[in-house]
Amino acid sequence: MTADLQAALANADVVHDRAVLEQSIRTMARAIAPDYSGDRPVYLTVMHGGLPFAAQLAMELGELGLDLEFDYLHATRYRGETSGGELVWKHRPATPLQGRRVLLVDDIVDEGQTLAAVRAWCVEQGAAEVRIAALAVKAHDRCVEGVRADYKGVDVPDRYVFGYGMDFHEQGRNLPAIYALRG
């Protein structure tokens, strides 16, 4: 049975609208571009959630003159559920990471288990540096030690959030705002 997205929207608050998110992404790009000046980082989009944010951030970085080498990965712990399980790799990047600077781009840093595992894999592949750009960071103290967004767009409450890449039971990723369920 598919969860009811319209019912979820009726029981949710808009946390950040599209204008706020787009401004946050522009601000992030202005912080990221100088950090990679003279370099061409491997820009790894974490699928599926990171896709809308990563595309917009990439365009902002391009406008600032930063060239990126695109690749993606698909690793999940949720598979449509609301709590995570064992990490499942659906696609690993094909780009060699040996000696490269890597920018992981994802929709949210929640508790960080998935990002910790992905970052560790990048390091195992020989990445010289791995940084994380996240559109949203959930406000709580349960994050895996050492996992944080090097570049952050917005904070979101410690509630079930969806939209702008984040899903409500595999729905609503393309909503142009971030919503948080009430109660």
Domains and CATH numbers, the chain: 5-181 (3.40.50.2020)
Nearest to 38 by CA among 15, 70, 67, 71: 67
Please give the model's pTM, rounded to 2 decimal places: 0.92
Nearest to 151 by CA among 183, 100, 115: 115
* Angstrom distance (rounded) from CA 103 to CA 110: 18
Q: Which residue has the higher pLDDT, 139 or 84?
A: 139
Going from the C-alpha of 74 to that of each of 47, 104, 138, the distances in angstroms are 5, 12, 21
Nearest to 133 by CA among 39, 45, 38, 20: 45
For the segment 99-120, what is each residue's pLDDT rounded down to a tens digit? 999 999 999 999 889 999 999 9
Indicate which residues carry an active-site annotation.
110
- pLDDT for 77 equals 74
* Angstrom distance (rounded) from CA 60 to CA 33: 9
* Angstrom distance (rounded) from CA 106 to CA 72: 10
What does the DSSP 8-state code read for residue 41?
-
